Structure 1
């Protein structure tokens, strides 16, 4: 089959799949452009303005932002520590059986979304930031453990081998020959995941995991749109600030 014919077949197949998806879901996009729908959406959007900026509410927002930041930071730190430990097994440093078992564990941890982990942790540990911290730590351990293991596998073995030939122990060769080469990558991966976990920590509150997300869920449930808008702006400001800080740190590490 000629390349052009194969590409045309794939295009037709993808188009058919998209059309079948629209038909199966029975999406009614016409309802979005009707006059009454537009009016309702505009009225609802207008109810979010102006944001609530009362001192008492801003103080609660500050506390919620700190709680969200703490959930993401502690969860990421725990994940980095456990991920670093598990990456030694996943990289095959302690044998093939340990490598297979650890990779299976890491795959299982990261295949479960943070929201599902949070729902489970809320049942196990109760409502509040502890459940959110555990949910982020569990999922991120799977992600960082795999990334850390790949960094170990791609590290040149010559420095560690030279130390071993000079009489150093396996631990010493790893600490002084292998670890210095992967630490910058590990830190960059950790900071990048922290950026993602800031956003996720704000979302986990919808299942009772604390922070700004829980405040947003409560305000929307009580139809307090002006307060909800101030929470959304606080979340946006926090994410932009952390993104800028993390990007600066990763640029310095690079």
Structure 2
């Protein structure tokens, strides 16, 4: 009785780990990191003096109403931007999953790479020139970047879905589009919804940052008050950001948990 041949040792994983380790070591060696200066008494005193300027936060009713409106604007930007990205990502994911051949797959995946490789701040800076200041260019910036991310994730989910249910329907005479919507899409829909909710969480933070470049919302308020050294008002805006992120994280977690039951 012949013994089975021992499994071949794969060196690709080890080589990748070594290359990653070399990259990390080279990063620390090439960057001028002054870690010792971060823990000096002067640095601690400066940070303490800076943080003391934020207390107490501004709690006047007029400013709280203004902050609440900016919070609603930030939430609307993130929700609408994510919704547009989900629709665009799903449309682009179908050809990116190879449904129409190799050439459309490669072309659409290249487009998705471009969309997600450009940060939201860059998209916002470009769109601010075209559409002016306000939440509209911020919403489009979130939608453009997130469409690239979700389109790639959706395409991978469609490609990794079991093909047997759709093939069975097509063998029985069902049209390809109908077989896709009745067999493949329902299998991947929970995963797509989970991806969408996670990106919504990220877009809440991104929408707050986009306001720094003039895209409205809490970020624009924060930049304005920090530039005028109005630290108590800036503290109120920061607290509103933290509360908004916490609420959206909790809602998203609850929805994801409900979907997996």
Per the TM alignment, residue 43 of structure 1 is displaced from its structure 2 partner at its CA by 1.9
Per the TM alignment, residue 51 of structure 1 is displaced from its structure 2 partner at its CA by 0.5
Listed as ranges, the matches of 1:1-254 within 5 Å are 17=26, 20-22=29-31, 25=32, 27=34, 29-30=36-37, 33-35=40-42, 37-254=43-260
Distance 2:20 2:203 in 1: 36
Distance 2:192 2:252 in 1: 14
Residue aligned with 2:89, SS: helix
TM norm structure 1: 0.90
Residues 184 and 11 (structure 1 numbering): CA distance in 2 closer, same or farther, change over 3 Å? closer
Per the TM alignment, residue 40 of structure 1 is displaced from its structure 2 partner at its CA by 3.2
Residue aligned with 1:53, SS: coil
Residues 174 and 122 (structure 1 numbering): CA distance in 2 closer, same or farther, change over 3 Å? same
Residue aligned with 1:81, SS: helix
TM norm structure 2: 0.88
- Tell me the alpha carbon deviations over residues 100-135 of structure 1, each in whole angstroms, 9 at most, x when there is no partner: 000000001000111111111111111110111011
* Residue of structure 1 equivalent to 2:6: none
Distance 1:190 1:19 in 2: 35
- Tell me the alpha carbon deviations over residues 22-56 of structure 1, each in whole angstroms, 9 at most, x when there is no partner: 4xx37474376244x44333222111000001100
Task: Please give the root-mean-square deviation of Cα atoms over the aligned residues, in Å.
Answer: 2.2
Distance 2:197 2:35 in 1: 41
- Tell me the alpha carbon deviations over residues 136-184 of structure 1, each in whole angstroms, 9 at most, x when there is no partner: 0000000000000000001111111111111111111111111111111
Distance 1:19 1:156 in 2: 44
Uncovered stretches (5+) of structure 2, i.e. residues with no partner: 1-10
Distance 1:98 1:12 in 2: 37
